[in-house]
Amino acid sequence: MESVHRGGVLAAEALQRSAGGYEELWLLASHLGDPKAAVLLLFPAVFHTHRRAGIAVLWAAALSEWINLVLKWILFGERPYWWIGESGLFSENPPKVQQFPSTCETGPGSPSGHAMVSAAVWWVIVSSLASCVHKRTGSKILAAVPYLLYAVFLGCVGLSRIFILAHFPHQVIAGLLTGVLLGVFLKWSVPEHRPLLFFFRFSLSLLFGALLMHGALQNFGVDLSWSIPLAKRWCSRSEWIRMDTAPFSSLSRVAGVLLGLGLAQYWKPGGWALPWVPRTLCLALSSIALHYINSFPVPTAPPLLFYSLFFLKYSIVPQVVMVLVPGFVHLLTAKPKRE
């Protein structure tokens, strides 16, 4: 494994040297591949285009992120930005690499969450789009275009994670393959029209299931916080260490999103049947609202307060996108009934 890690560092060095002029592009690709972006950016855009597809995106994002968290706890993957210093292999000839604000994630590195969640979520979208194109045009070539764009996007996300020293190449490949398999499976299990109790139980099951696993491993002497001191030690700048990249932040986001999805379908089953123009307005207003929700400051101490508020923040997201904003637009655009 040491030789694999060493080769990954050299690959990152070569990538930064040859493609360093496209730094902004790589940072953008990494941002778009963030599991958070699937919830805050992709979900509202897809939902206001096609309701069931939007729910499928949120469902795939939540479950793939939870599975990724569990795999990271089990696999104990290193991250390049701290392995370089910890390995001691580069003391005489250190690689000429640099870190970025999105480099210093504090959780284990295998498999890549960005690659895994992106592969799962975008498979749900791309496979449906390709089927629609083939049904309307009958052309297999045109139907293959979404898959080609899918591969290009995932390639950019994967390379961006290597470029910023967040992952080794084998971690990215593992995330991509696992994500595609999850996307294929989750596409056919969309929980539309499920009762609130289903989401309540599912959210609590994932939350407490992960906590019980964490506690059990800790009791067996397995330190699941091993990566946090390494991240703090080897990150170039202390302000780049953020609590929203910690494993428990992912768990809070997943549980909050699923509970919020259940509440949104409970408040307004089926939603509103809005024409295209009001739906475009819904997308604009949802994006603005989610921007402010995401930027709302959450106190980082004590940690339990942070994770609780983080949970609440993401439980609000589906309700804003699916209920509050469409309901407001419906009131604005609905024609008064004639008596």
Active site residues: 114, 167
CA 5 – CA 83 distance, rounded (Å): 8
DSSP 259-276: HHHHHHHHHSTT-----H
For residues 155 and 147, is the Cβ–Cβ distance under 8 A? no
φ, ψ of residue 335 to 5 degrees: the values are -80, 135
Which residue is associated with the tokens 């992106």?
118
Task: Detail the DSSP E strand segments found in the chain.
Answer: none
> Residue 101: is the preceding peptide bond cis (ω within 30°)?
no
| Interior angle at CA 227, CA 226 and CA 229, nearest 5 | 85
CA 55 – CA 44 distance, rounded (Å): 10
For residues 162 and 11, is the Cβ–Cβ distance under 8 A? yes
Has 79 been labeled as part of a binding site? yes
What is the greatest pairwise CA distance in the chain? 86
- Dihedral sign from CA coordinates of 242, 305, 324, 256: positive
Has 17 been labeled as part of a binding site? no
CA 306 – CA 249 distance, rounded (Å): 9
Q: Which residues of 158-172 are buried (b: 16+ CB within 10 A; e: fewer)?
A: bbbbbbbbbbbbbbb
Binding-site residues, in ranges, read 79, 161
Binding-site residues for substrate, in ranges, read 79, 161
